């Protein structure tokens, strides 16, 4: 049985990441650090055999994916099914603002209540039901090959849980850094974890940016 190797990557940093504002479906582009991270990612993956590149249709993911795909002569296929969790009324706000204005809803979010959805947004159950089948579908197109999928922190959290069989409400003990390289395997039986949060490419010296501040 042939498997599909998946490189699952979070987009580069945005101004809202740095400002701790909830992005969700709001389309925020990469900032200068995020573009540098995307270039470093492209260098890290330049010798990888990648059959196809998929990305969320939000610009921060698409731009990150294009940084890798362009030098390889590949095109990026975007899919709204790979979008971040929709946070509805929460989008654009910081944690402090949420706790001040909607303390009950914010507590439900912090506790990872699977069926809780911010007003106008998605629950974790809805996110899971959207993301896992979509990634399985994309991976199933490439048995024996490797694909790059550029997505968002919430999407990667769901994929980690799917690959390790962890419940949605289990506390998170793993990191989701911008442009970290995460490796998964797909087979018809599901996803499995190979490696997580490889950020060695972000430790490279750069004459413009200090990554420790990113």
What is the domain-level CATH number for residue 158? 3.40.50.1240
> What integer is the mean pLDDT of 100-128?
95
- For Cα atoms 170, 174, 177, give the angle at the middle one, nearest 5 degrees: 130
Quote the pTM value: 0.93
pLDDT at 72: 97
Q: Establish if 98 belongs to a structural domain.
A: no
38 pLDDT exceeds 80?
yes
Identify which of 157, 151, 188 has the alpha carbon closest to the alpha carbon of residue 172.
157
List the beta strands (DSSP E) in 18-151: 52-56, 76-79, 146-151
What is the pairing mode between strands 181-187 and 76-79? unpaired
214 pLDDT exceeds 60?
no
> What integer is the mean pLDDT of 15-39?
97
210 pLDDT exceeds 90?
no
Q: What average pLDDT does the structure give for the chain?
A: 94
Q: Establish if 16 belongs to a structural domain.
A: yes
Q: Which residue has the higher pLDDT, 52 or 210?
A: 52
State how far Cα 70 lies from the chain centre: 20
**Domain limits for position 171:** 4-85+126-213
Q: Establish if 188 belongs to a structural domain.
A: yes
- Number of separate domains in the chain: 1
Q: Establish if 116 belongs to a structural domain.
A: no
Q: Establish if 90 belongs to a structural domain.
A: no
Q: Establish if 38 belongs to a structural domain.
A: yes
> What integer is the mean pLDDT of 69-91?
97
Q: Classify residue 196 by its DSSP letter.
A: E
pLDDT digits (tens, 9 = 90+) for 136-175: 999 999 999 999 999 999 999 999 999 999 999 999 999 9
Question: Euclidean distance between the first and final Cα of the chain, in Å?
Answer: 41
Binning pLDDT at 50, 70 and 90, where does residue 204 land? low
Residues sharing a CB contact under 8 Å with residue 165, sequence separation 6 or more, in sequence order: none
Binning pLDDT at 50, 70 and 90, where does residue 213 land? very low
Catalytic residues: 11, 84
């Amino acid at each position: 049985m042939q498997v599909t190797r998946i490189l699952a990557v979070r987009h580069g940093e945005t101004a809202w990441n740095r400002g701790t504002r909830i992005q969700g479906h709001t389309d925020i582009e990469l900032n200068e650090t995020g573009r540098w991270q995307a270039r470093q990612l492209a260098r890290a993956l330049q010798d990888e055999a990648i059959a196809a590149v998929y990305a969320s249709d939000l610009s921060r993911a698409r731009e990150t994916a294009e940084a890798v795909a362009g030098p390889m002569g590949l095109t990026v296929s975007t899919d709204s099914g790979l979008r971040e969790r929709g946070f509805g009324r929460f989008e654009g706000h910081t944690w402090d603002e949420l706790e001040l204005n909607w303390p009950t809803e914010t507590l439900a979010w912090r506790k990872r209540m699977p069926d809780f959805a911010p007003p106008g947004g998605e629950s974790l159950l809805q996110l899971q039901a959207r993301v896992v089948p979509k990634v399985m579908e994309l991976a199933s197109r490439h048995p024996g090959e490797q694909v790059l999928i550029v997505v968002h922190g919430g999407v990667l959290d769901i994929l980690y849980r799917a690959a390790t069989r962890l419940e949605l409400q289990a506390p998170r003990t793993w990191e989701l850094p911008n442009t970290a390289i995460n490796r998964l395997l797909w087979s018809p039986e599901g996803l499995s974890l190979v490696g997580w949060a490889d950020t060695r490419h972000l430790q490279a010296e750069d004459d413009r940016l200090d990554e420790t501040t990113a």
